[in-house]
Structure 1
Amino acid sequence: MDSTTTDDATGATDSADDFTPAERARGRALRRAQLPWALGGRLTGLALTLLLGLTPAGAGLVTAVGGWFGGSRTAEVLAGAAALVVLGQAVQLPFGAGVRVVRARYGLVTQGWAGWAADALRGLALTLVLVLPLALGLFALTAWSPDRWWLPAAGAAALLTVALSFLHPLLIEPVFNRFTPMPDGPLRTALLELAERDGVRVRDVLVADASRRTTALNAYVSGLGATRRIVAYDTLLSTAEPREVELVIAHELGHVKHRDVLTGTVLGAAGAAVAVCMLGLLSTWRPLLHAAGAADAADPRALPLLAACAALLGSLSGPAQCVVSRRIEARADRHALELTSDAEQFIAMQRRLALANVSDVDPPQVLELLFATHPSATRRIAAARAWKTTSGTADGTADGAASGTG
């Protein structure tokens, strides 16, 4: 590790020497190369949704595709919802391919185009399986009351958010990855002991076959209650030192310890309920209904309008969600440091993750504010050194707290 300069008064660290100029330039170049594709995909998808939702074009689409299946109200709802999903994903597909090409140039992609296309189809099928019943239920409520449908719908949205959080590791994650139990050995034992010392009960330690898609490193703790498990990418296990793996898992355990998953689920449920209430209010605004070519919220032709309003609300709330996420991630970092008392290995882990994932370690502030869900690598490393200074652990390791495999 290169030497650094520390400000004794604040514990802040000049981390300029943590990454070489070439390493910084590589991460910056990847960010600049993939940003137009990633941002272009978002903006194009949002533009299409707004175009269909705020003009009669969406109403015409719902009527046309519904007519292919008999023209009944149910046919218009299901066919219209399917058309919106398919068009939304189709228009973003070239941008996703562009991101993939860029990441492949930097050695981050191991999957062929056939596998990528299969994943896209899986994602489309999963989205349709989730969206079509929701659309049918939604318009059953609007038929019941075009003006008050959002009252029961808000409660249903909150309950569905909680259910999906619980079922995600069991039903959705296996669609895209294969998970196998981590073999018995020192690392598995160390991870389970780490969770036990932290007072976190986990069902199992699993390995995800991420290497068939990417060389990026990651790990997480997913699920609630009986579905909670530690998951490590096989790329992480084959690349990082065992002690670094422990530090990654310690960070993820911090999310559980501070009930971030549960809190996020509750906040997500509340946010879903509030969003539905706002959609209910917007769906009674006559100028919007007129612009969309719909009579009222019970009219299937209002489906694109509701989708557009939901997309716009989601986009506007994105930066605020990122602020909350960065604070949560910083707290999980502190938890990992307190649990392991190993600031030096934490710093080594952050450096390894940044280099393996070709991260921009110090991105422009505006991009960080708008899109970043995690603090930058330089911020995380500086925070670790500041913690080490204030904690008084001169060698970065507390007695009895650094046991493990690294």
Structure 2
Amino acid sequence: MSTLIIALPLSSGDTTTRYEHVLTPEGQSIAVHATSTANLLPDASRGADETVAVVPAEALSWHRVELPKGVGAGSPRLRPVLQSLLEDRLLDDPQDLHLACEPSPAADRPIWIAACDKAWLSQHLQRLEAARRPVTRIVPEFAPHSGALRLQVLGEADRAQMLLSGSDVAGGVVRLPLNTSTLAAIAGPDGLPERSELLAEPAVAALAEERLQRPVEIQQRTQRLLIATQTPWDLAQFDLANTSRTRTLKRLLGAGQALLRAPQWRAARWGALLLLVANLIGLNAWAWKEQASWQSRRSAIDSTLTRTFPAVKVVVDAPVQMAREVATLRQATGAPSGSDLEVILSAAGAALPQGKAPSGIEYSGGEVRLKGLNLGPDELAAITAKLRPMGYGGRMDGDSLQIRMEGNR
């Protein structure tokens, strides 16, 4: 699924505001990198299936708080509680700020809260909505993380700044000027930790290596925007979460599209395809084997019918034709049938308990009704158990016992 990534400017949003944006077809490569007004941004008709807004580091402040017991991420009291906890830490009125919690916060430990100007953010979202580019997710350009120190040098050579994040950074994400005094304060007497991750934009890469005395990894701004969208953060919470169902659907679609298109899932896709092909081949082979076995059994039944009754030339339904031929043969020889009255009465006599005699007998269509038998459940069970080996079934209908061949039910 293609994604339109929009970097929100620090200025307010109006018809003349220009937005830097990146269009990525699968979250890995860059198809478009440009700057334009909101109404000229790529939309669904030009390949953008999802729109993600990136909030710059300068627009966010980070605060670590510990929630009271009973107040979780989904609690309706969460926002008032956060406003109360942050009231003494914020320079602005908490009512004027948009607050967002870290994703999947763990219980019984402090969590990170992002804060930004609500009016500024709402203005940009409304401007994009009016231009028919509704934002489905809002992410921070930089977010706190629990890993080693990450130092990123940004800007131009004459006003380079460094952005710090990591488990040892007290403010979560800290932006400082790149100069000797700040570096000395950060590095300490032993210098920067060996495990530090050092990144820099191309314009300040040489300056960063000179000041840090360490090689740095060059990171384009477009790469940074892509990485920002790959974090689990979503600042669209509380009053900005009115399209949460849409965002959830988009995330599910995005995950599905990533599985279908992303290069890192290519091996998994080939494995799934090979597994599907192997299963289809196996199912077809099993079906062919079962069909061959069924045809073999049917041919054996047909052969038995034609050998036993040579007069049958065409086999349509072997069991029905065999039953018809046996009945004809029985009539011709005068042999009794299992559905004849005397045969059923003989079976009933063998099954009925001593002292039980019917007051009347009815015979119709191969079924015998023995009237006047008031049988209890145990007696009926004993009678049916004796009738079953002889090929008959019995059931009570009022005070009558009905007996007939089980194949004729």
Where is the strand percentage greater, Structure 1 or Structure 2?
2
Compare relative contact order (CA 8 Å, sep 6+) and give the higher one, 1 or 2. Answer: 1
- The structure richer in helix per residue is 1
Q: Larger Cα Rg: Structure 1 or Structure 2?
A: 2
Q: TM-score range by the shorter chain?
A: under 0.3
TM-score by length of structure 2 reads 0.24
